[in-house]
Amino acid sequence: MSNSSPLRSLLGKLLLACVATCSAGAQAQAPYPSKPIRLVVPFPAGGAVDNFARTIQPELSVQLGQPVIIINKPGGGSQIAAADILSSPADGYTVFVAQIGDYTVNPVLYKSSNYLPPRDFDGVTMAVRAPQVMLANATNTKVNSLKTLKDTMAQRGANLLYSSFGAGTAPHLLGHILGRNAAAQLTHVPYKGFPPAMQALLTNEVDLLFDAVPGAVNMMRGGKVVPLAVADTQRNSHLPNVPTTAEIGLPGLVMDFWIGMAVKKGTPRTIVNRLNEAFDKAVGNPDNLKRFTDLGYARVSMTPEQFDTVVRTELEKMKPLIAETGVVVD
């Protein structure tokens, strides 16, 4: 008996150790996802990116079988949101909901940017896109049509003002490209946010403004804002009678507004692919897709690898463009 007791004790300890090890292993190998997923939005509630996230939130939760929580972290040129992602584990439970500006412009624009997508993130997918539109005020006799735009730009000493919601934003960069490609004098007037930039156009404080199709369509309904050209290579279904910039002789004047998703670099590829599938189905949900289409977005289906390639290409394109403007934000 005295010899069997220590043996039983040893066997008991080994059994407990085995159970603990097997339990830990099973826990570590739990199928993804096994807890709520956080969507980090680098803008306040109510904006285009936030509305996109909230539109797909219910269906995304269905696809993933877990609650989806939206976290708004605005400010710092998206660096606050990026820091949240980078400080989280690379496990697919924290997802960056990004758009062209914070993903391919801000890392170049901000001198002290704390992130660079190809280095720090793995792309999941691009979800929706919409081209930018060149807008003018119908009451502005200097520029209210393509003809008046061309005539004014051809005049010696003519100077057109265009607004944007900040240095380095898509409207700023497009105005810069327009002036360069058309060999015309355009002066950038930045405002603190999009509403005052649009208000400046409505009151004829400026002559031009670029806006993405969803916002532009809403503003045109009142009749005071008129579209001059779509900054794309093909006509837009919402604006079938508006020519593209390529059609008016400005093929280099092309830029999308897009929304996509990314996770921290090093996230297992199986998880990235699972998220890609879930986001694609959430965007493609008939009700969601109709809403996005009605707003002027086009659905995009991309593999993670395709999205990463687009991002690298756009970053390389943005570097010299932003250098030309001379804008650097500390």
Q: Tens place of pLDDT for every residue, the chain, 330 residues? A: 455 555 555 555 555 554 454 444 444 567 999 999 999 999 989 888 999 999 999 999 999 999 999 999 998 888 999 999 999 999 999 999 999 988 999 999 988 899 999 999 999 999 999 999 999 999 999 999 999 999 999 898 889 999 998 888 889 999 999 999 888 899 999 998 888 999 999 999 999 999 999 888 888 888 889 999 999 999 998 899 999 999 999 988 999 999 999 999 999 999 999 999 999 999 999 999 999 999 999 999 999 999 999 999 999 999 999 998 888 887
Both 298 and 286 in one domain: the answer is yes
Both 159 and 105 in one domain: the answer is no
Both 146 and 190 in one domain: the answer is yes
Whether residue 20 is contained in a domain is answered as no
Both 172 and 200 in one domain: the answer is yes
Whether residue 28 is contained in a domain is answered as no
Whether residue 296 is contained in a domain is answered as yes
Which SS3 state, helix, strand or coil, does residue 221 take? coil
- Last residue of some domain: 231, 265, 293? 231
Both 182 and 94 in one domain: the answer is no
Both 187 and 118 in one domain: the answer is no
Whether residue 3 is contained in a domain is answered as no
Ramachandran sector of residue 266 (left: φ over 0; alpha: ψ -120 to 50; beta: rest): left
Number of domains in the chain: 2
Whether residue 9 is contained in a domain is answered as no
Whether residue 156 is contained in a domain is answered as yes
Domain range for residue 188?
131-231
d(CA 174, CA 47): 21
Residue (of 133, 141, 206, 142) closest to 174 by Cα position: 133
Both 49 and 92 in one domain: the answer is yes
Amino acid 151 reads D
Angle (nearest 5°) at CA 248 between 242 and 249? 155
Whether residue 30 is contained in a domain is answered as no
Whether residue 96 is contained in a domain is answered as yes
Both 92 and 149 in one domain: the answer is no
In the chain, what's the furthest Cα-to-Cα distance? 110
Both 117 and 152 in one domain: the answer is no
Report the predicted TM-score, pTM, of the whole model to 2 decimal places: 0.84
Both 51 and 136 in one domain: the answer is no
- Whichever domain contains 46, its CATH number is 3.40.190.150
Both 121 and 149 in one domain: the answer is no
pLDDT value, residue 13: 56
- Whichever domain contains 159, its CATH number is 3.40.190.10
Would you state the structure tokens that stand for residue 149, as one six-digit string? 């735009």
